[in-house]
Amino acid sequence: MKSGRVWILLMSLYLCFSLTGCGMFSVDTERLMSPPELSGDMYPISRALSASIKEDYQLKYPSSGERRSAIILEDIDDDGAFEAFAFYSTQDDEMTNMHINAIRKDKNGYVSVAEQSVVAGGVERVDFCDLDADGKKEILVGWEVYGSSEKQLCVYSLTNKALNQRLSEKYTGFTCCDLTLSGENELFIHLLNTSDMLNSAAVYKFSDGGLQKIGGCVLDSAVKTVSAPVTAKLSGGQTAIYIDEIKGAGAVTEVLFFSDGELKNPLLETENTIENIRTLRSASIASRDIDGDGVIEIPVATKLANATSSEELLYYTNWCAFDGTNLVTKRITVLNTIDGYYIEVPKNLEGHLAVLKDTDSHRRVFYYYDAGTEIVGERLATISVVPAKIWDGKNYNRADMFELARKDSNVYVGSVNIASEFRISENKLKEIFKLVP
């Protein structure tokens, strides 16, 4: 009887450690796990994949981009039937091989029709785009060679029985768009190599005869990290690529577009240094379409008066549209990145604000500023952030304060000086106050 109880106890302990992952045993569970069985419509695709692979494998999921599944469905030839593209890894001695496997449905069901492999550590992102104007989308796969520090873009075309590799290039970011306004897609590739201080972009055009680089340019050489390239319009209507970049002393936005048959970067200063100075601002502020007109506005910093004796520099954020030559201010704001809001500066107060910045109390006080005499005048308005449980409490003194917005567990509240000659009314403050999206 006692031995039976001991056996039950031992089995219970075993189940505890095996199911909860207690750190007593060092087990590489990833290598022991079988590939997951997919259900529903994906089940026959999963079976076709397993039947085509003669060794152990593990499904791999893209780490970024809009498509995050290890098996992605896409109708690449627009015939109404989806092709499936599976991404997985196999182990060959000490070498990790990444694979892309193309699966199609025929009269007998789903079957693997083609496979390609590459030495890599993972999948960064996957996209589809018709790059040679033949009515069939190419498969664009960003492979992670050494994590996120080195990535390789491979472009494949799927025929009946093969995945043909059309391109293999190092990249930091890529996108497909019609930069040349030819009516056909081009491939834009951005590459940042910080060790060599190399920051460059190239545009490729595909055709039946092969691959052709049709343009390239350099970008800011002092950049440390970059965001993904975004396709949008210049204010004049030209298609362009916008790239936000982080430097040691802030952030910049570079705008690239085709003009006179060349890829150009007109915001780059090249006389004294290869840097973008015109769009330099705080690293926490990204470019965006702030008014929904399809044109990305670039935040440009200009000096804002500090209402205290502190030597801390404060800045307006001027949201500028770029027409290919000039940055044209569309909206002037005072941005509080810590508390996540901004105000749109009224026309009559542009250049006439001074701000008291009280970060510890989550408070900003706005004063009238005479730029000619550099005198800070009367208070115009105050914005504070108050925990909701305190603001909603019975004992909180709300005198002259009103609610502007709520987000998460905080309330944004304001007060105005109605006696001011340049007064901002309660309704006006509510109108110009905006939460950062």
Selection from 224, 231, 277, 279 nearest residue 256 by Cα: 231
**Alpha-carbon torsion, ordered 99, 105, 109, 113, to 10 deg:** -40
Residue-level pLDDT at 32: 33
Residue-level pLDDT at 238: 93
In degrees rounded to 5, what are phi and psi of residue 177? Answer: -170, 170
In whole angstroms, give the CA distance from residue 273 to residue 422.
Answer: 44
Distances (CA, A) of 161 to 104, 114, 196, 431: 10, 6, 41, 61
Residue-level pLDDT at 2: 41
Residue-level pLDDT at 150: 86
Structure tokens belonging to residue 181: 């306004």
Residue-level pLDDT at 243: 97
Question: Buried b vs exposed e over 118-131: b needs ≥16 C-beta within 10 Å?
Answer: eebbbbbbbbbbbb
Q: Helix (H) and strand (E) counts for the chain?
A: 5, 28
Residue-level pLDDT at 54: 85
Residue-level pLDDT at 62: 96
Q: Are 353 and 367 in contact (CB under 8 A)?
A: yes
Structure tokens belonging to residue 287: 């470019």
Q: What are the residue ranges in the chain where pLDDT is below 50?
A: 1-37
Q: Does domain 35-171 have CATH number 1.10.3720.10?
A: no
In whole angstroms, give the CA distance from residue 16 to residue 421.
Answer: 73
**CA neighbours closer than 13 Å in the CB half-sphere of residue 274:** 12
Q: Are 172 and 191 in contact (CB under 8 A)?
A: yes
In whole angstroms, give the CA distance from residue 141 to residue 163.
Answer: 12
Distances (CA, A) of 373 to 369, 370, 376: 9, 6, 9
β-pair type (122-129, 433-435): unpaired
Residue-level pLDDT at 22: 37
In whole angstroms, give the CA distance from residue 35 to residue 18.
Answer: 19
Helix (H, G, I), strand (E, B) or coil at 146: strand
Q: Are 263 and 200 in contact (CB under 8 A)?
A: no
Name residue, tokens 């905080």.
410
DSSP state of 18: H
